[in-house]
Amino acid sequence: MKTEYLIIGNSITGVSCLEAIREVDNKGKIIVVSDEKILNYSRPLISYYLGKKLSKEKMAFRNKDFYEENKVELLLDTQAEKIDVAEKEVHLDSGEKLKFQKLLISTGGKPVIPPIEGLNKSREGVFTFTKFQDAREIEDYLQANDITKAVVLGAGLIGLKCTEGLLKRGLKVSLVELADRILANTFDRKASSILEEALQAEGCQVIKEDTIIRIDSSRGAIKKVVLRKGKDIPTNLLIIAIGVRPNLNLVKDTSINYDKGIVVDDHLQTNIQDIYAAGDVAQGKDLLTQKTSLMAIWPVASHQGKVAGLNMAGKPTKYFGSFIMNSVELAGIPTISFGITNPPAEAKNLETLSKTDEDRGSYRKIVLRQNKMVGAIFLGKIERAGIFSQLIKDKIDVSSFKKDLLSDEFGLLVLPTEYRKHLVQGEGIEV
């Protein structure tokens, strides 16, 4: 089978790519290959499905007619197994070969599984939490068994969202984290401590600076975990959520360059002409450091998919880079963080501003480099966060209004007149 455009991956990256292609080319054939059975869904919402806040149908971010309306052939439950770079074709697990003119690799990430004694003997009660199928399998397991307690390994974003879903179902959760605080890569100590207290108030036990070294099972079903410091935790449910790494299976035996992820240029093209990569699998430009890095977050995946699609369809579009940004509600506390949030103490060129309002339960922190914003954390009070994000993107000198950055009254009217006009009349603010 032949196609002008072949997209491997049907999450937000692949969907954004095909939408961008259709902006330029309304006729070229598009085939999307997905190894999942579900039409499409928002991955950040799988914890809400687990916590019974959303149904399967409510998780879709495009309707069931989307692919037909965009004249896209969608191959669900289909595994791409090999890329033949020379022949410009992809081999599927069905034995079929798809010839392409332009290819997007958006295979995302796969969960990191640490070496744990006894893990290979535990066939029941151990799960990961990165896809809808993971949430579905956990739900089925909970319904089939009388589970009241769970252990979650990893207190990053994935582990915390899974923990939240389990708490909503009434389970007692023990959260085990190797670092000295939760969300160590995203928040500073103050922000982490606020969230930790909120989690504990909801019935979550937080165990820091420790990890699981052994799993004890009986007839293949997990019975307890043993921590490095010697503590035993009886449990029939363990979620391993220490992170994800790019799924590079398709490129490892090809001439496509990869490092930690697939290396891409300013147009998200790999070193091979007509082959692009975007999303969690791609190693693209960091707007703040101007180096390449991995950014496994939804907004970046969406943006990269769009840029790749425009370039694939023949509309040259430069990717200027992105920065880490997370917006999530945990334990009833809305949070937003972006950029450099936890600079090292020895970083002399960075300035930190912060404000805590105990009465309102809010915390704000802003990081500056030579009077330009490079990072921020907002907990509790997150209004107008889009303005701060735009200040980072546009590299605006905040000297004239620095004293107002943490004010409750901070908003568009505080900004310089010309820049305010740019935001309102120009590109607008991305929230």
Regarding pTM above 0.85, the answer is yes
- Pairing assessment for the beta strands 80-84 and 149-153 based on DSSP bridges: unpaired
Domain boundaries, the chain: 2-108+245-312, 119-242, 340-425
At the topology level of CATH, where does 340-425 sit?
A: Enolase-like; domain 1 (3.30.390)
For domain 2-108+245-312, the CATH architecture is 3-Layer(bba) Sandwich (3.50)
Is the fold of 2-108+245-312 the same as that of 340-425? Answer: no
**Residue 89 neighbours by CB distance under 10 Å:** 18
Q: Which fold has domain 119-242?
A: FAD/NAD(P)-binding domain (3.50.50)
pLDDT in tens, the chain (431 residues): 899 999 999 999 999 999 999 999 999 999 999 999 999 999 999 999 999 999 999 999 999 899 999 999 999 999 999 999 999 999 999 999 999 999 999 999 999 999 999 999 988 999 999 999 999 999 999 999 989 999 999 999 999 999 999 999 999 999 999 999 999 988 999 999 999 999 999 989 999 999 999 999 999 999 999 999 999 999 999 999 999 999 999 999 999 999 999 999 999 999 999 999 999 999 999 888 888 889 888 989 999 999 999 999 999 999 998 888 888 888 889 999 988 888 877 777 899 999 998 777 789 999 999 999 999 999 988 888 888 888 888 888 999 889 989 888 887 877 877 777 666 655 444 43
Q: Which two tokens stand for residue 159?
A: 């582990």
* 329 bridge partner residues: 334
